[in-house]
Structure 1
Amino acid sequence: MKKTRSRAKQTTSLQERLNAFADDIFHKAERLPPGAERDQLLKRARTAEIAADIDQWVSSPGLQSPT
């Protein structure tokens, strides 16, 4: 018997979702006092921003495939 995966249709782009996630994490980190937990949240937010930048770069129309 073959199982099918349940798939969700995304209504926003990956870049928009990553940016929204990073903004949310930044706002949570701002409310925390300086410390390890705040640093960890800021690191996660920065990682999400970098992922959004990479997605934008990969999706750009100027990207050429190797010949």
Structure 2
Amino acid sequence: MGQQRRRIKHTTSFQERLLQQAAELQKSADQLPPGVERELLMKRVRQAEMALKIDDWLAVPGSAPPAALGAMKREPNVS
């Protein structure tokens, strides 16, 4: 039989983990000089914040999508 998936029992909620991740990424980005690496971290901060908005939206049945969701667009790749 195949491998079993590893199960993780989280001690914090999904929202708390996203908030913590966004705060840590923001702190790391603030310590960097302007440049590609900082922009990549800021992109991840924005992604975590958008995930929070989407999670809030999905938690309320029948609610309208967040306004920012309609304005989402692909960000250019930073190489």
Q: Is TM more than 0.5 here?
A: yes
Moved runs in structure 1, 4+ residues, more than 6 A? none
Shift of 1:9: 0.8
1:40/1:3 CA distance change after superposition, 3 Å: closer
- In structure 2, how many angstroms separate the alpha carbons of the residues matched to 1:44 and 1:24? 11
Q: Percent identity?
A: 47
- Alignment pair present for 1:8 and 2:8: yes
Post-superposition Cα deviations, 1:29-54, rounded to whole Å, max 9, x if no partner, equal 00000111111100111111100111
Q: Please report the TM-score for the alignment, with normalisation by the length of structure 2.
A: 0.71
In the alignment, residue 31 of structure 1 is paired with which amino acid?
Q
1:10-25 aligned within 5 A: 10-25=10-25
Q: Which has the higher contact order (CA 8 A, sep 6+)?
A: 1
1:1-67 aligned within 5 A: 1-60=1-60, 63-64=61-62
RMSD of aligned Cα (Å): 1.2
**Higher Cα radius of gyration:** 1
Shift of 1:3: 3.2
Larger mean Cα displacement after TM superposition, 23-32 or 6-15: 6-15
Shift of 1:2: 4.6
